[in-house]
């Protein structure tokens, strides 16, 4: 059974991963001289920032929701 704490912890870990990837792409883009390739890395960094924000919102929902103490879904499409 997944608890609210499990979900919050899981989303926190994912958010940290997304932030790490954002920082990696941002740092790499600063070292790339080719404008087209640099733009790709900048776009990747922007995408990771959006992912981090989405995960943060999911974590907030998990914190506020009382429904996250049910059994994990067993089949794709089954609600949590």
Is there a domain that residue 54 lies in?
yes
Q: Which domain does 17 fall in, by range?
A: 4-64
The count of structural domains within the chain is 1
Evaluate whether residue 71 is within a structural domain: no
Q: Flag whether 10 is in a domain.
A: yes
Domain contains 75: no
Sole residue written with tokens 């900048």: 42
Whether 17 maps to a domain, the answer reads: yes
**pTM for this predicted structure:** 0.73
Distance between CA atoms of residues 7 and 59, nearest Å: 7
Q: How far is CA 23 from CA 6, 44, 48, 63, in A?
A: 26, 10, 9, 26
For the segment 17-52, what is each residue's pLDDT rounded down to a tens digit? 999 999 999 999 999 999 999 999 999 999 999 999
If you ran DSSP here, which 8-state letter would residue 12 be given? Answer: H
User: Is residue 46 in a domain?
Assistant: yes
Cα–Cα dist 4/25, whole Å: 32
For residue 70, tell me if it sits in a domain: no
Instruction: Give the closest residue to 55 by CA, choosing from 10, 4, 13, 15.
Output: 15
Write the DSSP symbol of residue 80: -
């Amino acid at each position: 059974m997944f608890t609210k704490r499990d979900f919050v912890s899981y989303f926190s870990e994912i958010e940290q991963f997304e932030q790490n990837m954002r920082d990696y792409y941002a740092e790499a883009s600063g070292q790339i001289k080719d404008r087209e390739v640099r733009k790709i890395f900048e776009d990747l960094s922007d995408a990771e920032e959006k992912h981090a924000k989405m995960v943060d919102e999911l974590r907030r929902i998990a914190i506020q929701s009382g429904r996250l103490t049910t059994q994990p879904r067993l089949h794709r499409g089954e609600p949590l």
